[in-house]
Structure 1
Amino acid sequence: MPVSEPGAAAPDLVTVPARQGLEAVDIIRRAATAPAGGVGPVLHDGSGGTLGFLVPPGTADAWDLPGSACMQTNGRGMRFGDGAPPVEATGWLLPPEVTGSLTDPAVLRAALGEAARLIEAADNCR
């Protein structure tokens, strides 16, 4: 689904700890065959502690992945096309003009699960 399709509902936002989110971005990009890499726009908070993935509207209704949150944006503060991040005090890790479409929730869920397992394994090797 394109990020700024005319008349489209505002995307939902899945937030995760930055370390897990960065791993998930890498996992999705490695697995994707699409030119954009399969991952949609990604925001980071000002402190760098959290990443937010833009996903299709309605995702929040069924999102239940521990360690993450998914919220409906209802368009609050969401604006695209001017290059500025759509949420105050954030920045783009991957802007919409680079990715072109939203992240598929099923793909994101699988990547976040794999990322959590990789992080746990790495932490247990110390």
Structure 2
Amino acid sequence: MAGAKTAVEWLASVAPDPGACRWEWERNPLGVALLPAGRAWDVLILPGELGRPTLDVLTRILGRPGPVLVDFGNDRMGFFVSPGTAARWLGTGIRTAGTGAWIVVPYPGRSTGSVRWLVPPDGTGTLTDPALLELAMHEAAARLADGTAD
């Protein structure tokens, strides 16, 4: 899409100093930045055993959901959703990162040892709709309970 921000610009735009963030990010040997949630996005953090089938459901429905992070052990997955979602979210076993929270974000397109993108940001600001994410979580949980999830 012509004129769309790159994924790096979009992510760095939430930093207190976007230029310094990009500079550090590009030179940090770990390839990560600590960015504040709650400005352009919140993050819903699911346990890996629920997150993987949830992502499968979302991918089947949408083709490409908003950005999704996974930690090094595949124990937790972070789905990027609209700002304000974390303050309203009620869900057992689901962590939230919203206003006042900071998350470790890898540089798009680079592998890191601690966290990686399963679905990298596209630079346009595409996020996963929280209502759709909740429905996908319910379907994934039902499949897990039935033993039909991978």
TM-score normalized by structure 1? 0.73
Secondary structure of 1:60's counterpart equals helix
Aligned to 1:57: 83
Q: CA deviation at 1:52?
A: 0.6
In 2, distance between residues paired with 1:29 and 1:99? 18
Other-structure match for 1:26 = 56
Q: Which sections of structure 1, spanning at least 5 residues, go unmatched? A: none
* Secondary structure at the counterpart of residue 147 of structure 2: helix
Report if aligned partners of 2:45, 2:96 keep a CA contact under 8 Å in 1: yes
Q: 2:134 aligned to 109, 117, 121, which one?
A: 109
Q: Distance in 1 between matches of 2:123 and 2:145?
A: 31
2:121 to 89, 96, 100: 96
Take 2:39 and 2:128, find their aligned partners in 1: how far apart are those partners?
15
| Letter in structure 2 aligned against 1:92 | W
Q: Is the 8 A contact 2:43 2:97 kept in 1?
A: yes
Question: Cα offset for 1:111?
Answer: 0.4
- Larger RCO of the pair (alpha carbons < 8 Å, separation 6+): 1
Contact 1:57 1:72 in 2 (8 A): yes
- Equivalent in the alignment of 2:21: none
Greater shift in the superposed pair: 18-27 or 40-49 = 18-27
Which residue does 1:40 correspond to in 2? 66
Dislocated runs of 4+, deviation >4 Å: 5-8, 77-80
The 1:83–1:75 alpha-carbon spacing in structure 2 relative to 1, beyond 3 Å, is: farther
Residues 44, 78 of structure 2: 8 Å contact kept: yes
Output the amino acid matched with 1:106.
Answer: A
Q: Higher Cα Rg: structure 1 or 2?
A: 2
Deviation at 1:118, TM superposition (A): 0.6
Q: How far is 1:121 from its partner?
A: 0.9
Name the CA distance, whole Å, in 1 between partners of 2:70 and 2:105.
16
In structure 2, what is the Cα distance between the partners aligned to 1:98 and 1:77? 18
Q: Deviations over 1:22-74 (max 9, x none)?
A: 11111112122xxxx25110000111111110111100111012221222155
- Change in CA separation of 1:22 and 1:100 when aligned onto 2, cut-off 3 Å: farther
* AA matched with 1:120: A
Which ranges of structure 2 fall in alignment gaps of 5 or more residues?
15-37
Identity, in percent, stands at 33
Instruction: Quote the Cα distance in structure 2 between the aligned partners of 1:55 and 1:16.
Output: 13
